[in-house]
Structure 1
Amino acid sequence: MNESQSTAAVIGGSVSGLAAATGLNQLPAIASVTVYERQEYDEKRVDCGEAINDATLVPLEKTPENGFVNDVDGFQLRIYTGTDRPPEAPPLATSNLRCDPGYICERDVVERQWADRLASRGVEFRTGRSVSPDEYADIVETYDYVVDASGQPSLTLKSKGKTRDYTGDMVALNATVEGDFSAYVNRPRIFFEGYVGYAWAFPKSERHANVGIGWAGDQRPDDYVAALEAAAERNGFPIPDRDRVNIYTIPKGPSLDPASAYYPEENVFLVGDAAGIANRYQGEGICQGIRSASLLTDLIRAGNESAYPRALHELMQSEYRLAHLMRGAWVEHENPELLAAVAEALDGLTIDDITRRPATVIRRVVRRPTIAARLLSDGGMIRRLYDSYTDSWEYASESGI
């Protein structure tokens, strides 16, 4: 290392941290990159987020050996009247969404292979132990760049006593199960059942799948695991063993003011879940986390890292906007038939369309004037539309961004 080069640390070695380490390791101005990860990569690490909607963001060959076990054509949305129905009840509507770069993965394998690739290219990994508050302070003092990818609430927020800024409001349970998934192995299913959230069955092969259920808003079950078991019975996938069920909280996005994503006096940057990055409508966070890390390293390459908070907001703005509107289609109306009509209007679009392109979704809906009129018949939905296009919701009204 010469005097003009810098050092970088990444705290957290899941997908967002690995993406940050990948970008930093490619910068000539960065002499060394060290990743701190509390778990070992050869242990079972995660069983969530195993659908990667844009696998091109992961710099690995898309093979089963690298964890990419099912190259899916897309996803099928199934809309039901509610949870109080017999298993044989047909859906009100189905909608097939395309996802050409999508895979169902063994995420722990993906992360292990990605970390091995980085290690072979000179990135140092310190694994198997959590970073303590004192160690966090030492890392910030020692390295020229620190990327916090530690999840939520992040180590940075904890160190600053700002954990109440975290506003995770999505709770999800999932597990891997064995069964017969041959009927929809190429088009995994998502079940909307009359609450803010959904259940899913994402086959990794014809014989095993990641299954789960998630909730947002105020309608939560008293017994989360029992609710997952009931969803399995209703929707025809195997009931997971209780000791194999994982539970976790997802940032609702946007959950942090952009000013909390970068601390210039310490050169600390937050990416992924640590920065509150997640899709508020469907909970996806893998691609969002990778994009935030790639954005940051591109800005560092250009010598413009101070622009990261605003650039991050601009990167996520369309996604936040659309999630706010899509969530409102249920929250403001609580009408399964209307949600079914909206889903049918979206048939044939891509996952990227319905998560990141509000104009595309709105054009589809307005082609059906009756649906558009029903959506806008509620004052709450009109308010959401106004808020979405003036950025006057959540932190934006206070920060001016």
Structure 2
Amino acid sequence: MNESTSTAAVIGGSVTGLAVATGLNNIEDFTQVTVYERQEYDEKRVDCGEAINDTTLIPLEKTPKNGFVNDIDGFQLHVYESTDRRLEADPLATSDLRCDPGYICERDTVERRWADRLASSSVEFRTGRSVSPAEYAEIVETYDYVIDASGQPSLTLKSKGKTEEYTGDMIALNATVEGDFSVYVNRPRIFFEGYVGYAWSFPKSEHHANVGIGWAGEQRPDDYFNALKSAAERNGFPIPEREQVNIATIPKGPSLDPGTVYFPEGNVFLVGDAAGIANRYQGEGICQGIRSADLLTGLIAGGNESAYPQELYKLMKSEYRLAHLMRGAWVEHEDPELLAAVTEALDGLTIDEITRQPAVVIRHILNRPMTAAKLISDTGMIRRLYDSYTDSWEYAVARGS
């Protein structure tokens, strides 16, 4: 490695890879940053929901031209007993969550505009084809740093025969549809319906929306598309055409132990989905991926990149802990009434609080003693509490302080 200058390859050019390229391009010592992306930015790229809860992480002006099409107030949760109900059925509970920096986006546009900005500031893009195993090996040999943002399973772990490390246990279908969303355009809806997962309708405007459904755990439909169709009928959003529907597998997080997010022998780092970063409770991965990218590039700028595995765990620990506990309200109890009570206890909180601040969530639930008592009256929930606060629920490694 040249002591005064460095080069970097970023494999994968979605939001996480673009965040890595942005951070590295801002480091004076880097003379070359190259992004390898298998698709073209003017093609349809997105195969997930298009809500971005913290758009302050993206260095673009928040305008429709840049893909930020609906500045939302927050989200409204609807909890139902089951999927066996009429459209007119009232929910067991609703809850409004705040999300001041949130937008529903045209993510294709966000990524294209972000890539254009980077290309105009000397970042090189090689797009339109996948990196082969031979090319991957050559990239590792050629560049001083290689950051893998290729998703799951990552190109790096494929090359090492470690794809079994992944635990992608969320399946999600989504599509963009036309309809009348004026009633809740400023507060998109999420529908909990008695299974481990949820459906959603995220308006981009009064007239079109990203809609979908996702599942986690063992309960899965025999026909995913028909399950999405039924969810649309129950929850009052348009049924997508089959050819419009995207399907994705989401890592449950934390899927990988620290030893598999950094490989010193090639100076290879994994970020975002490639590192198993996703919220295990609700599947969100966009902001998590960007935060992992920002963490890594900050450590590289300070010459402390070897600390990345442990610092990544510290960054995500509160989120992992809270997701493990919140998921327990579904898995351990299978009680829609209890989930409804927990949902009502969260009313008024921010998305950041319910995903990253366990103390805030626990305090709000404790303000409802009967709900709190019922929630922890199960041995499975007690085990989850113990596991969460001893950091022992996913893998057994020494993490230090």
TM-score range, shorter chain: over 0.9
Q: Give a deviation string over 1:155-192, Cα, whole Å, max 9, x none.
A: 00000000000110000000000000000000000000
* Counterpart residue type for residue 98 of structure 1: R
Aligned to 1:68: 68
Q: Give a deviation string over 1:351-382, Cα, whole Å, max 9, x none.
A: 00000000000000001100000001100000
Are residues 220 and 399 of structure 1, via their aligned partners in 2, closer, same or farther at CA, if it must alter by over 3 Å?
farther
Q: Give 1:259 shift.
A: 1.0
Q: Give 1:29 shift.
A: 1.3
Q: List aligned pairs for 1:295-334, cutoff 5 A.
A: 295-334=295-334
Aligned to 2:6: 6
Q: TM-score, normalised by structure 1?
A: 0.99
Q: Give 1:231 shift.
A: 0.2
Q: Give 1:34 shift.
A: 0.2
Cα distance between partner residues in 2 of 1:287 and 1:13: 15
Cα distance between partner residues in 1 of 2:185 and 2:116: 29
The alignment partner of 2:361 has SS state of helix
Cα distance between partner residues in 1 of 2:146 and 2:23: 13
Q: Give a deviation string over 1:255-284, Cα, whole Å, max 9, x none.
A: 001110000111000000000000000000
* Counterpart residue type for residue 168 of structure 1: G
Q: Give 1:87 shift.
A: 1.1
Q: Give 1:86 shift.
A: 1.0
* Counterpart residue type for residue 232 of structure 1: A
Q: Structure 2: any 5+ residue segments left out of the alignment?
A: none
Aligned to 1:344: 344
The alignment partner of 1:168 has SS state of coil
Q: Give 1:2 shift.
A: 7.9
Q: Is the 8 A contact 1:72 1:102 kept in 2?
A: yes
The alignment partner of 2:169 has SS state of strand
How many residues matched?
A: 400
Aligned to 2:17: 17
Q: Give a deviation string over 1:233-254, Cα, whole Å, max 9, x none.
A: 0000000000110001000000
Cα distance between partner residues in 2 of 1:145 and 1:129: 21
Q: Is the 8 A contact 1:39 1:45 kept in 2?
A: yes
Cα distance between partner residues in 1 of 2:376 and 2:210: 36
Aligned to 1:174: 174
Q: List aligned pairs for 1:131-146, cutoff 5 A.
A: 131-146=131-146
Cα distance between partner residues in 2 of 1:87 and 1:49: 23
Cα distance between partner residues in 1 of 2:152 and 2:323: 20
Q: Give 1:399 shift.
A: 4.7
Q: Sequence identity of aligned pairs in percent? A: 81
Aligned to 2:271: 271
Cα distance between partner residues in 2 of 1:399 and 1:195: 34
Are residues 295 and 400 of structure 1, via their aligned partners in 2, closer, same or farther at CA, if it must alter by over 3 Å?
closer
Aligned to 1:373: 373
Q: Give 1:330 shift.
A: 1.0
Aligned to 1:234: 234
The alignment partner of 2:83 has SS state of coil
Aligned to 1:58: 58
Q: Is the 8 A contact 1:280 1:323 kept in 2?
A: yes
Cα distance between partner residues in 2 of 1:358 and 1:400: 20
- Note if 1:214 corresponds to 2:214: yes
Cα distance between partner residues in 2 of 1:218 and 1:305: 38
Cα distance between partner residues in 2 of 1:150 and 1:304: 23
Cα distance between partner residues in 2 of 1:300 and 1:144: 12
Cα distance between partner residues in 1 of 2:394 and 2:290: 23
Cα distance between partner residues in 2 of 1:62 and 1:369: 42
* Counterpart residue type for residue 375 of structure 2: L
* Counterpart residue type for residue 110 of structure 2: V
Q: Is the 8 A contact 2:77 2:189 kept in 1?
A: yes
Q: Give 1:398 shift.
A: 3.9
- Note if 1:48 corresponds to 2:65: no
Cα distance between partner residues in 2 of 1:307 and 1:109: 34
The alignment partner of 1:42 has SS state of coil
- Note if 1:249 corresponds to 2:249: yes
The alignment partner of 1:97 has SS state of strand
Q: Is the 8 A contact 1:174 1:212 kept in 2?
A: yes
Q: State the superposition RMSD in angstroms.
A: 1.0
Q: Is the 8 A contact 1:146 1:269 kept in 2?
A: yes
Q: Is the 8 A contact 1:144 1:267 kept in 2?
A: yes
Q: TM-score, normalised by structure 2?
A: 0.99
Cα distance between partner residues in 1 of 2:164 and 2:332: 27
